[in-house]
């Protein structure tokens, strides 16, 4: 692209230069070039506040939770349960008992599949998902169907990557026992208009699970306003640690669900004749939990809130608009996923150049993107591509970095096409 093209700047009052200084990892060079990290949908980076919170926890407060009467155990318990309340507040749940700490979105969905769906479903019942889903919102339901004889139904998507609402209306019915949808597509960036899907499901009394892994990091989420029954997300995509995530569940449903893992912490009393289970949320948290993960997640939420989720969403929309415009100028580039409402995720193909080659060439220019099927093989099949290249943006990315992406793509073209 011509160097004369002026780089667009943000009109949002977000001091990105200052924000970037909060992220130590962004300060490095990769293959001799300043790192341009555009793989945020796979995993985001961590601000120093999160790293420091975890270190400080281990240096001063660590012990096991819910066990000892000693001071450190109390501190650890306060930090862990305090984190739960910070999560509750962040997604506007009504009750900390509705916040279950899990390993991540995948485990959250599996918990609901095994503890909610599996005991309830049988032959003739249906679970409804969409063709947009990440494998984590497909395979757990296939496992349930194998065990129960229930059937998995899939709402098709259209060529823009939008879930077809008319098809949904035809597919949902008296047999439907659960609707499980992505809030935002990881592969295409589609923001699913979940409100209308949930409203229809409500009318029919069908419970709704939302996979919020790609939604929570990029804008405000209010589970009560959404009126969903389950909401799942991962800390590591929202500047928090790996290995921890959240299942929000409506309390009435969680109360009825049996534990899905047994062990310490999830019990009240144990004898060989009879074990009584702990109350919510601990009923679903067997064994020593990821305490430092919860501490890190709480720090990540505080950090995101200090910037403001609305401002993050606004800035990322500007970045997305700019990146979309610039990418469309690249000859032979085709954006896969053109929904009306998108998060800052852009999947694309480049004529004559396989995504894997794009990924390697961009890496030598310091630009990190994801290439492959993005754990959404059915989406790739629908668009009849083996893979795509995907640039996924975060609030710490800049307009200049988009220009670097474009320049690196031009290098790929000059080399291979």
Partner 1 sequence: MDLKDLYRDVIVDHNRNPRNFGKLEAADSHAEGHNPLCGDRLTLYVNFDGDRIREAKFEGSGCAISVASASLLTEAVKGKSREEVRRLFDQIHALLTQHDADVDLAGLGKLAALSGVREFPARVKCASLCWHTLNAALSNATQPVSTE
Q: Note whether 396 and 40 are within 8 A (CB).
A: no
Least Å distance between CB 402 and partner 1? 22
Q: Binding mask 110-129 vs partner 1 (x if CB under 8 A, - otherwise)?
A: --------------------
Least Å distance between CB 163 and partner 1? 24
Q: Which stretch binds partner 1 (CB under 8 A): 103-111, 247-255, 360-368, 391-399?
A: 360-368
364 binds partner 1 (CB under 8 A): yes
Distance separating alpha carbons of residues 330 and 325, to the nearest angstrom: 10
φ/ψ (deg, to 5) at 245: -155, -175
In the numeric block, which tokens belong to residue 14?
């977000």
Of 346 and 361, the one with the shorter C-beta distance to partner 1 is 361
Distance separating alpha carbons of residues 65 and 265, to the nearest angstrom: 9
228 counts as catalytic = no
Of 317 and 354, the one with the shorter C-beta distance to partner 1 is 354
Q: For partner 1, which residue of 118, 314, 370, 373 counts as binding (CB under 8 A)? A: 373
Q: Note whether 30 and 366 are within 8 A (CB).
A: yes
Residue 212 neighbours by CB distance under 10 Å = 29
357 binds partner 1 (CB under 8 A): yes
Query: What is the size of the binding site for partner 1 (CB under 8 A)?
Result: 17
Residue 225 neighbours by CB distance under 10 Å = 10
Least Å distance between CB 343 and partner 1? 23
Q: Which stretch binds partner 1 (CB under 8 A): 269-277, 282-290, 306-314, 367-375?
A: 367-375
361 binds partner 1 (CB under 8 A): yes
**Which 65-84 positions form the footprint of partner 1 (CB under 8 A)?**
none
415 binds partner 1 (CB under 8 A): yes
Q: For partner 1, which residue of 387, 393, 394, 409 counts as binding (CB under 8 A)? A: 387
33 binds partner 1 (CB under 8 A): no
**Which 317-356 positions form the footprint of partner 1 (CB under 8 A)?**
353-356
Helix/strand/coil for 406: helix
136 binds partner 1 (CB under 8 A): no
400 binds partner 1 (CB under 8 A): no
Q: Which of 376, 106, 111, 352 is nearest to 253 (CA)?
A: 111
372 binds partner 1 (CB under 8 A): yes
Of 299 and 408, the one with the shorter C-beta distance to partner 1 is 408
Least Å distance between CB 133 and partner 1? 18
Of 323 and 336, the one with the shorter C-beta distance to partner 1 is 336
Of 189 and 355, the one with the shorter C-beta distance to partner 1 is 355
Question: Which residues share a beta bridge with 231?
Answer: 210, 248
DSSP assignment of 84-141: HHHHHHHTT-S-GGGEEEESSHHHHHHHIIIIIIHHH--TT-EEEEETT--GGGTHHH
Q: Which stretch binds partner 1 (CB under 8 A): 67-75, 241-249, 321-329, 366-374?
A: 366-374
194 binds partner 1 (CB under 8 A): no
Distance separating alpha carbons of residues 87 and 140, to the nearest angstrom: 25
Burial class of 40 by CB neighbour count within 10 A (0 to 12, 13 to 18, 19+): buried
Distance separating alpha carbons of residues 258 and 238, to the nearest angstrom: 30
φ/ψ (deg, to 5) at 321: -60, -40
Question: Which residues share a beta bridge with 157?
Answer: 163
φ/ψ (deg, to 5) at 281: -90, -5
Triad 358, 216, 8: Cα angle to 5°: 55
Least Å distance between CB 411 and partner 1? 8
Residues 145, 228, 239, 375: which is the catalytic one? 375
Q: Note whether 242 and 43 are within 8 A (CB).
A: yes
Q: Which of 40, 38, 44, 45 is nearest to 408 (CA)?
A: 38
Distance separating alpha carbons of residues 111 and 257, to the nearest angstrom: 10
Least Å distance between CB 149 and partner 1? 29
28 binds partner 1 (CB under 8 A): no
Of 135 and 202, the one with the shorter C-beta distance to partner 1 is 135
Least Å distance between CB 355 and partner 1? 7
Least Å distance between CB 408 and partner 1? 11
Sites of contact with partner 1 (CB under 8 A): 31, 353-357, 360-361, 364, 371-373, 380, 386-387, 415-416
Residues forming the active site? 375
């Amino acid at each position: 692209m011509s160097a004369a093209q002026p780089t667009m700047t943000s009109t949002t009052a977000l001091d990105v230069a200052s924000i970037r200084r909060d992220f130590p990892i962004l300060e490095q060079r990769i293959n001799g070039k300043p790192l341009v990290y555009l793989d945020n949908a796979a995993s985001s980076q961590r601000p120093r506040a999160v790293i420091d919170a975890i270190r400080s926890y281990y240096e001063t407060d660590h012990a096991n939770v819910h066990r000892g009467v000693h001071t450190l155990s109390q501190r650890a318990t306060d930090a862990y349960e305090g984190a739960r309340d910070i999560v509750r507040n962040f997604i506007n749940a009504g009750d900390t008992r509705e916040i279950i700490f899990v390993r991540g979105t995948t485990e959250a969905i599996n918990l609901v599949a095994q503890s909610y769906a599996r005991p309830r479903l049988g032959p003739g019942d249906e679970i409804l998902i969409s063709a947009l889903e990440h494998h984590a919102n497909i395979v757990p339901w296939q496992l349930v169907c194998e065990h129960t004889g229930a059937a998995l139904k899939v709402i098709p998507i259209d060529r823009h990557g939008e879930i077809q609402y008319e098809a949904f209306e035809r597919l949902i019915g008296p047999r439907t026992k659960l609707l499980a949808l992505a809030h935002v597509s990881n592969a295409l960036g589609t923001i699913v208009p979940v409100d209308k899907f949930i409203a229809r499901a409500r009318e029919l009394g069908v419970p709704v699970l939302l996979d919020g892994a790609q939604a929570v990091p990029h804008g405000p989420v209010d589970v009560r306003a959404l009126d969903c029954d389950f909401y799942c997300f991962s800390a590591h995509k929202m500047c928090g640690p790996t290995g921890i995530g959240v299942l929000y569940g409506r309390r009435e449903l969680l109360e009825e669900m049996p534990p899905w893992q047994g062990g310490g912490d999830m019990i009240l009393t144990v004898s060989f004749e009879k074990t009584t289970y702990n109350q919510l949320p601990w009923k679903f948290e067997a064994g020593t939990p990821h305490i430092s993960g919860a501490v890190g997640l709480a720090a990540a939420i505080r950090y995101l809130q200090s910037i403001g989720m609305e401002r993050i969403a606004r800035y990322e929309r500007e970045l997305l608009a700019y990146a979309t415009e610039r990418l469309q100028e690249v000859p032979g580039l085709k954006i896969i996923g053109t929904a009306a409402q998108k998060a800052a995720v852009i999947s694309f193909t480049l004529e004559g150049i396989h995504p894997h080659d794009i990924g390697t060439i961009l890496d030598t220019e310091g630009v990190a993107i994801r290439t492959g099927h993005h754990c959404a093989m059915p989406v790739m099949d629908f668009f009849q591509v083996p893979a795509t290249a995907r640039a996924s943006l975060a609030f710490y990315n800049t307009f200049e970095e988009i220009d670097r992406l474009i320049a690196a793509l031009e290098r790929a073209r000059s080399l291979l096409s």
